[in-house]
């Protein structure tokens, strides 16, 4: 089975990797019109945002740090299964692995997260 999806706001969860550079932006005009911010105020950008040059790279590397720690357990037909993501040599390509406890792990799928 081949499938695909787009997590529309996932991109916005990626933290900026280069913390040595301070990224700021002027208050969006809609914020000043709604009196949420004063004209001339600035915001410090800490996460990826649309239009920021470094954001695509920040997003593409972010899942690599998160997926390594994700593990799950589930029941299927009376068997206890354990699952995890396994990184491949290809950047942003992951194997979805599962095993019945005590048996050989099996690849259940591939996930490509950027591009």
Condensed to tens digits (0 to 9), the pLDDT of residues 7-20 reads: 667 777 788 888 88
Q: What's the predicted TM-score (pTM) here? A: 0.64
Q: Which long-range contacts (CB under 8 A, 24 or more apart) does 43-46 make?
A: 45/16, 46/15, 46/16
Domain parsing of the chain, residue ranges: 1-64, 68-115
How far, in Å, CA of 87 to CA of 36, rounded?
43
pLDDT of residue 2: 59
Q: What tens digit of pLDDT does each residue of 70-112 get? A: 999 999 989 999 999 999 998 888 999 999 988 999 999 998 8
């Amino acid at each position: 089975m081949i499938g695909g999806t787009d997590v529309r706001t996932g991109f916005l969860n990626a933290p900026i990797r280069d913390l040595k550079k301070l990224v700021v932006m002027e208050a969006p005009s809609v914020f000043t019109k709604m009196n949420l911010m004063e004209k001339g105020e600035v915001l410090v950008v800490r996460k990826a945002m649309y239009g920021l040059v470094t954001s695509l790279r920040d997003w593409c590397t972010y899942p690599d740090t998160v997926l390594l720690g994700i593990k799950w357990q589930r029941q299927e037909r009376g068997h206890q299964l354990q699952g995890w993501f396994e990184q491949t040599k290809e950047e942003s390509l992951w194997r979805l692995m599962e095993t019945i406890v005590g048996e050989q792990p099996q690849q259940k799928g591939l996930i490509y997260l950027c591009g």
